[in-house]
Amino acid sequence: MKIVILDAYTVDQGELTWDGLKELADVETYERTAPEEVVARCKGAEMVLTNKVVLDASVLNMLPRLQYIGVLATGYNVVDLEVASRQNIVVTNIPAYSTESVAQMVFCHLLNIVSRADHYANENRKGKWTASPDFCYLDHDLFELYGKKMGIIGLGNTGMATARIATGFGLQVLAYTSKDEEDLPYDIMKADIDTIFEQCDIVSLHCPLTESTRNLVNAERLEMMKSSAILINTGRGPLVEDAAVAEALNNDQIAAYAADVLTTEPAPADNPLLKAKNCYLTPHIAWATREARQRLINICTENVRAYLDGEPINQVN
């Protein structure tokens, strides 16, 4: 059995190994694969692993030997599931491997915004503290999280992990979720989405990207928010309208936007968020702690093992 990994570098970064997988099959690894290279590289393989390389109908129809696709991520929109199912190709994903890492990034962004640690560290490198006439200096307002309201849109694994951290900071947590209120922890209050955008000091997005959630945060929703509110997106880029958020920031309609994801990645040079006021972007790295990437490889290996044993797990089609 032959396995082809199309974009291994996104996961291993040259520092982690696929040794467990190599014990199960013949593994051929590519750091990156361009669209025009996909078919040729997959031609002789029964199993293919991909993170972001697209396996659409035009590709799948040219791979009659293919039996299994392992998506090296939680989201699996890079695979045409309908065609895969029609061709009896099993498709699996990697659920919940980066939950704690993503929740950690939410608070990395949030704490940077309210405490300005990065700003002050950079100013001190320029000598500002050394030149200060006082033992400290304040050139930005600092804010305490305790007692403020945090709204969480989507209460799956990462949403719940974020809520748990939020309560530890003394934040009041409101959640927009399909879960019944009686099933929520006592310190999380269920709320409708408009209430969250109108009342919360912080809104954090953790819902999946569907047709109903695409552009969930648009000009209309941004108008509902407090001018002091902070919006955080570690979910999916298209949950927000980039241009609308940029305009809201530049007009002081909201206080700050922090995101680890954009509608198009890598970020196009003309994305208005790159130059918007009080906009803090990280390059889709919330998932990418060493621990989370190792966990991803481990789960991938178990997915392949289960498939070879005739009992697939984490199957999405």
Helix (H, G, I), strand (E, B) or coil at 169: coil
Catalytic residue among 206, 284, 293, 295: 284
Three-state SS at 311? coil
Inter-axis angle of helices 99-115 and 290-308, nearest 10: 160
User: Are the C-beta atoms of residues 296 and 97 closer than 8 Å to each other?
Assistant: yes
Q: Judge whether 4 and 50 are in contact, CB under 8 Å.
A: no
- The CA distance from 2 to 93, in Å, is 19
Asked about 290 being catalytic, the answer comes back as no
Instruction: Tell me the sheet residues that pair with 202.
Output: 150, 230
Separation between Cα atoms, residue 82 and residue 86, nearest integer Å: 6
Is 284 catalytic? The answer is yes
Residue 281 in contact with residue 267, Cβ under 8 Å? Answer: yes
**Percent helix, percent strand, percent coil in the chain, to nearest 5:** 35, 15, 45
Kindly name the residue from 65, 265, 290, 291 that is annotated as catalytic.
265
Active-site residue flag, 119: no
Decide if 165 contacts 206 (C-beta within 8 A).
Answer: no
Which residue among 221, 236, 293, 295 is the active-site one?
Answer: 236
- Residues labelled as active-site residues: 236, 265, 284
